[in-house]
Amino acid sequence: MNAADFTITQLKQAYQSGDLTPADALKSIAEAIDSKDGDIGGYLSYDLDLALADAEEVDLSLPLGGVPIAIKDLINAEGQPCGCASKMLTGKYKAPYDATVVRKLRRAGAIPFGRTNMDEFAMGSSNENSGIKICRNPYDPERIPGGSSGGSAAVVASNTAVAALGTDTGGSIRQPASHCGVVGLKPTYGRVSRYGLVAFASSLDQAGPMTKTVEDAALLLGAISGSCERDSTCLDLEVPDYTAALDKGVAGLKVGLPKEYFAEGLDPEVKALVEAGIKQLTDQGAEVVEVSLPNTEHAVATYYVIATAEASANLARFDGVRYGHRSNSADDLLSVYEKSRDEGLGSEVKRRIILGTYVLSSGYYDAYYLRAQKVRTLIRDDFNHAFKEVDVIASPVSPTPAFKIAEKLSDPLSMYLADIYTISANLAGICGVSVPCGAITEDGKDLPVGLQLLGKPLGEETILQAASTISDRA
């Protein structure tokens, strides 16, 4: 019996029946990792002894009592490495504290177990930018799992984890969830604390669940949501019981279809599967309404100005002085900065730091960064207007299924453009979920496709309500 085959709900039932103990589950998952993850590369490390020590004190009566949760490698968990899949930090930094999301997981009885692979410092959409090792799609190892939370998606899909946490700055939960056939939810900005996350773009980052079912996503979201005195952007609001929304059905729900998201560039087979998923909603009584998000065409450019500017500021701390990699060949202060960052950071991270530093530099701030913030407001206004007419917006997650490894590495712009359907939600600060809606067969392999449901700010209950109608695994 592989405990990682279970959903959260099933594992809790196994504990209650006495068929398993948390220690049994941890050992079983470790065996699954050892036997299967060598071909996938979803994990960067795990510490079974530390997890077993946590399991000795766990309270099984808690909502997530004894449930192991894999953690993306940029979320601090006390006593565990937090390397951001970068040579700058891997092997050089162990977290001395828990991120708020990890602290809340522990409070709910969960056990943080395993550090998942990712694009270095969360900068990428394929997990090919990991500074440590490549991660592969469990459905076809010749293809990418998506990114930046590719490792979290891959370990859930390959049944080497019960569930995982990822982070989403421009689609980094939803896109790999789509490519790996799991559920991935990006909460409203401020619904979940960012304290203890190594920042990429502070006004865009959000942590969220990656699970096998919509019910598990609701359980995990409820555990990690809520106020945090250490994060001034975190909302001090009551956390609802998200699982209560799953049985409401969708009769009378208005579903918006943005015409800009179903235009040129969308793979016809992806479109057909997404439309079939939407039909499940209408068959259950939902009403489809066409909406427009006219500033979608500016979203990618706006995102890559704002995100890189914030990345440039946030990553300035990794300079070889206080912590992280320090070059052994530096002979003065300037060369410490230059050589440490050159040796410790990968090409995609360097590209984004350079771009972000440029748009913030004297003479260019108003032309790029300030203008991008104004366009961001227009994008947010588009969603506000659309949500006056509809309850939820449905769309593809990605224009294509998972592409082959190295297929787009020489053309980073095409990689950026593939994020067109996910980026706007981060710019607007709204919530979104990717839910499996079928698969395309290519080269004899079934490649999963996800349908994206976007909700108004703090509309997680509504998107979960709709997602539970679509998912075959709910």
- Active-site positions read 72, 148, 172
CA proximity to 37, closest of 125, 135, 169, 106: 135
Q: Helix 48-56 vs helix 22-36: angle between axes, to the nearest 10 degrees?
A: 160
Q: With contact defined as beta carbons under 8 Å apart, do 30 and 4 qualify?
A: no
Q: Helix 214-224 vs helix 460-470: angle between axes, to the nearest 10 degrees?
A: 160
Report which residue type is found at 278: I
CA-CA-CA-CA dihedral for 432, 435, 440, 442, to nearest 10 = 80
In our burial notation (b when 16+ CB lie closer than 10 A, e otherwise), range 325-352 reads: bbbeebeeeeebbebbbebbbbebbeeb
Give Cα separations from 465 to 271, 363, 391, 461 (angstroms): 22, 48, 11, 6
Give Cα separations from 427 to 207, 383, 474 (angstroms): 15, 10, 29
Give Cα separations from 58 to 11, 71, 108 (angstroms): 14, 18, 10
Whether residue 225 is preceded by a cis peptide bond, meaning omega within 30 degrees of 0, is no
Give Cα separations from 114 to 22, 29, 88, 372, 402 (angstroms): 15, 10, 20, 38, 24
- CA 168 – CA 172 distance, rounded (Å): 4
In the β-sheet with 183-186, what is the strand arrangement from edge to edge? Answer: 43-45, 111-116, 68-72, 164-168, 206-211, 183-186, 431-442, 445-455, 392-396, 254-258, 287-291
Question: Angle at Cα 17 formed by Cα 15 and Cα 23, nearest 5°?
Answer: 30
- CA 254 – CA 397 distance, rounded (Å): 19
Q: With contact defined as beta carbons under 8 Å apart, do 314 and 200 qualify?
A: yes
- Residue-by-residue DSSP string for 85-123: T-TTTTTT-B-SS--HHHHHHHHTT-EEEEEE--SGGG-
Q: Helix 214-224 vs helix 100-107: angle between axes, to the nearest 10 degrees?
A: 110
- CA 204 – CA 233 distance, rounded (Å): 11
